[in-house]
Amino acid sequence: MIFQSLKMAWSAITSNKMRSFLTMLGIIIGVMSLVVLVSIANSATTSVTDEISNIGTNLLTVRIVDNKENPLKLSELSSFTDNDEIALAAPVAQSSVTAKSGYTSSTVTTYGTTGSYLDIQGKELAYGRFLKAADIDNHSNVVVLNEDAATEIIGRANAVGESISLDGRSFLIIGIIKSDETSSKSSSRSSGSSGSGRSNSSAKSSSSGSSSSSSTYTSLDAYIPYTTLTRMASNVSSEITTFYATATSEDSLDAAEDALSEMLLERFGQDEDAFTIQNQSTLMETMNSVTNTLALMLGGIAAISLVVGGIGIMNIMLVSVTERTKEIGIRKAIGAGRGSIMLQFMLEALMISLLGCLFGILLSWGILQAAGIIMDSMSFQLSNQVVWIAVGFSSIIGVIFGIYPANKAAKKHPIEALRYSG
């Protein structure tokens, strides 16, 4: 009986292709909206959490809000690492600086810091060395560039031993840091949200050796001794306003935060408003919560489109029942029962909904692929979970909005149906 009902339902759908397609259109748009919006939200979540994970989940970011006219000095940071829960600590300050080499000039984001910064941020050296304590103590004019900056300014990645000018001062390049994989795909990265202190300058450059003529955005970063930056940049004070600390392990992050808080409270006379501590793990949880809520909201909006599509299915099915009144009467006259008639129309509504869902998913995949090509800084993946949610929701829509038309068809009296002239 089911096979016969399926066959008859399919015949009814294909007999009026244009009407069937227009009926599916609401479901197609609804499924497309659901899948695309939720997939984009999930991709954003993955991108943010990956970025935070790359920085490290054992990272603490400390900002001095009010120093009470008793500024935190560079020499005091070493005392924080005396605690067993805190492994490393490093200050950070930044300024946009004009870098020159020969006839090449570029704006780079210059970070003033100490030797611990490299390990705290999880960066790797490609060539040379990073900053040492002697560089900090002697206010040395030495600089470490990332690969993008070295390539842009010097013309090659391995520029150790070369000299460049930073705001008119000569600096010796002592090391090259491996550029982040995403640096060439992103025009900028905000320092405020991640707490990493990374606010990358962007410069357009053509990709060397590439057959593509399109340009990409590269991150140009330079790292110099903290004491040197405070002397050359008028907007950077010698007092510490931001520094990073790492826990000895991810498991001891909360203990490290408590220990650091106690030391800072003692330092600033038990004033809790004098500083803020940002826990990287807490930040990740917050971002996950925000993006999940966003995905839920977008999914809810898209679900409304599916409901509207379901109403369209019900309306067309009611029209179809009216048009096929004599067919229903003939089927009942030759012995078809109420259940058989109802099953046929229920299956017809379900098939329309699922076909619309299929087309919507295929369209969503195409849109996500196109979005990935246009926005090459992000990867948009079609989530299997979202697909199954769309299929399940479409099935429910088809069944719910098919019940009333099917029941109306099943209740028709065979004699009255046969007399119907339309």
State the Cα torsion 231-232-236-240 to the nearest 10°: -40
CA 77 to chain centre: 34
What average pLDDT does the structure give for the chain? Answer: 79
Asked whether the beta carbons of 106 and 216 are under 8 A apart, the reply is no
More confident of the two residues 22 and 222: 222
What's the pLDDT score for residue 267? 87
- C-alpha–C-alpha distance, residues 99 and 297, integer Å: 46
The pLDDT of residue 328 is above 90: no
- Residue 118 structure tokens: 């490299």
Answer whether residue 278 is part of any domain. Answer: no
Instruction: Kindly state whether residues 107 and 235 are assigned to the same domain.
Output: yes
Instruction: Kindly state whether residues 259 and 359 are assigned to the same domain.
Output: no
- C-alpha–C-alpha distance, residues 219 and 213, integer Å: 19
Instruction: Kindly state whether residues 94 and 157 are assigned to the same domain.
Output: yes
Average pLDDT over every residue of 143-148:
94
* Boundary of a domain, candidates 270, 297, 316: 270
* Boundary of a domain, candidates 270, 298, 322: 270
Answer whether residue 79 is part of any domain. Answer: yes
Instruction: Kindly state whether residues 312 and 396 are assigned to the same domain.
Output: yes
Counting other chains too, the contacts that 161-167 makes at CB distance below 8 Å and 24 or more residues apart are: 162/101, 163/101, 164/99, 164/100, 164/101, 165/99, 165/100, 165/101, 166/97, 166/98, 166/99, 166/108, 166/110, 166/222, 166/224, 166/232, 167/97, 167/98, 167/232, 167/233
What's the pLDDT score for residue 359? 92
Structural domain harbouring 247: 67-270
What's the pLDDT score for residue 235? 73
Tens of pLDDT, residues 155-213: 999 999 999 999 999 999 999 999 865 343 333 333 333 333 333 333 333 333 333 33
The pLDDT of residue 41 is above 80: no
Average pLDDT over every residue of 51-61:
68
Instruction: Kindly state whether residues 250 and 386 are assigned to the same domain.
Output: no
- C-alpha–C-alpha distance, residues 284 and 26, integer Å: 37
What's the pLDDT score for residue 221? 92
Answer whether residue 78 is part of any domain. Answer: yes
- C-alpha–C-alpha distance, residues 93 and 227, integer Å: 10
When pLDDT is cut at 50, 70 and 90, the band that residue 98 belongs to is very high
- C-alpha–C-alpha distance, residues 101 and 332, integer Å: 91
When pLDDT is cut at 50, 70 and 90, the band that residue 215 belongs to is very low
Instruction: Kindly state whether residues 47 and 71 are assigned to the same domain.
Output: no
The pLDDT of residue 42 is above 80: no
Instruction: Kindly state whether residues 204 and 331 are assigned to the same domain.
Output: no
Asked whether the beta carbons of 280 and 55 are under 8 A apart, the reply is yes
When pLDDT is cut at 50, 70 and 90, the band that residue 378 belongs to is low
Answer whether residue 275 is part of any domain. Answer: no
The pLDDT of residue 51 is above 50: yes
The pLDDT of residue 320 is above 90: no
Q: What percent of the chain has pLDDT over 70?
A: 84
Instruction: Kindly state whether residues 258 and 323 are assigned to the same domain.
Output: no
Number of structural domains the chain divides into: 2
The pLDDT of residue 147 is above 90: yes
Instruction: Kindly state whether residues 242 and 349 are assigned to the same domain.
Output: no
Average pLDDT over every residue of 351-365:
90
Answer whether residue 199 is part of any domain. Answer: yes
| Segment among 26-35, 182-191, 237-246, 274-283 with least mean pLDDT | 182-191
Average pLDDT over every residue of 379-398:
83
**DSSP H or E run through 283:** helix 280-323
**Matching residue, tokens 């202190």:** 197
- C-alpha–C-alpha distance, residues 173 and 191, integer Å: 25
| DSSP bridge pairs for 287 | none
Answer whether residue 57 is part of any domain. Answer: no
More confident of the two residues 285 and 261: 261
What's the pLDDT score for residue 198? 37
Count CB atoms within 10 A of the CB of residue 108: 26
What's the pLDDT score for residue 180? 66
Answer whether residue 280 is part of any domain. Answer: no
What's the pLDDT score for residue 186? 34
- Residue 198 structure tokens: 């990374």
3-state secondary structure of 114: coil
3-state secondary structure of 148: helix
Answer whether residue 56 is part of any domain. Answer: no
* Boundary of a domain, candidates 270, 303, 331: 270
- DSSP per position, 351-407: HHHHHHHHHHHHHHHHHHHHHHHH-TTS-----HHHHHHHHHHHHHHHHHHHHHHHH
When pLDDT is cut at 50, 70 and 90, the band that residue 125 belongs to is very high
Q: How many helices (H) and strands (E) does the chain have?
A: 14, 12
Q: Which amino acid is at 71?
A: P
Listed residue (422, 409, 417) closest to 326, CA to CA:
417
Instruction: Kindly state whether residues 105 and 196 are assigned to the same domain.
Output: yes
Instruction: Kindly state whether residues 171 and 298 are assigned to the same domain.
Output: no
Average pLDDT over every residue of 307-324:
82
Instruction: Kindly state whether residues 163 and 244 are assigned to the same domain.
Output: yes
